[in-house]
Amino acid sequence: MSNHPIFTIVFYGISSILDAFDGYAARKFNQGTRFGAVLDMVTDRCATSSLIVYLSVIYPKFTVVWQLLISLDLASHYIHMYAMLSAGSSSHKNVDQSQSKLLSLYYTNRKVLFVVCALNELFYIAIYLYYHKFFWLGLSVGAFSAPIWLFKQIANVVQLKSASLILARMDVEEHNKKLTVVEEFKKD
């Protein structure tokens, strides 16, 4: 990344295109699995985190911001995935409007999901390009993608909160069931 910005962008771009294609292919050929969904999310988080870690190297004044962005991304996606699967959903993308209108739009509309994910990645790439002497390209792409990047960060916060509430409700329900059993046992 430090010595070959063109190769980095080309390979990162190919990786992103293949990421979009594999999900499409899995749906088209009815080969979607829980393992595939988890693997897809994990590899996405690894790729984005790797780029952000490098941004913290080239922009050390913003290291805390980069760390917070990685933490938000990892935590919101992990907790969301865990909550959805724990609740019995076959996919983390099965989000209805009662959970969150924003997340429902994000996960159920494939075009919205694609555009948001692509522009989120482009924002980080733009910051990378800006540093590597592609000032105008980095600035242009960054300015264009920044509003969608911000939307993605808001979606991550909403996702984290929503998934945390799902898990908390499940914990309360489980606790209440245990109390009911104990109370019934005491009556007998």
Provide the pLDDT for residue 65.
Answer: 98
Please, which pLDDT band fits residue 40 given cuts at 50, 70 and 90? confident
Q: What percentage of the chain has pLDDT greater than the value 90?
A: 58
Range of the domain at 181: 5-187
According to the 3-state scheme, what is the secondary structure of 84-114? HHHCCCCCCCCCCCCCCHHHHHHHHCHHHHH
pLDDT digits (tens, 9 = 90+) for 146-165: 999 999 999 999 999 999 99
Distance CA 29, CA 40 (A): 17
Per-residue pLDDT, 188: 66
Between CA 42 and CA 102, with CA 108 as vertex, the angle to 5 degrees is: 90
Q: What is the predicted pLDDT for the residue at 50?
A: 95
- Calculate the CA dihedral of residues 6, 114, 77, 41 and round it to 10 degrees: -70
Q: Is the pLDDT of residue 39 over 90?
A: no
Average pLDDT over residues 99-115: 89
Question: Cα dihedral angle (157, 93, 88, 68), rounded to 10 degrees?
Answer: -30
Whether 36 has a pLDDT exceeding 90, the answer reads no
Count of Cβ atoms closer than 10 Å to residue 17 Cβ: 11
Active-site option among 44, 73, 96, 188: 44
- For 49-96, the pLDDT digits (tens) are 999 999 999 999 999 999 999 999 999 999 999 998 898 886 777 787
Q: Is 96 a catalytic residue?
A: no
pTM across the whole model: 0.88
Domain count, the chain: 1
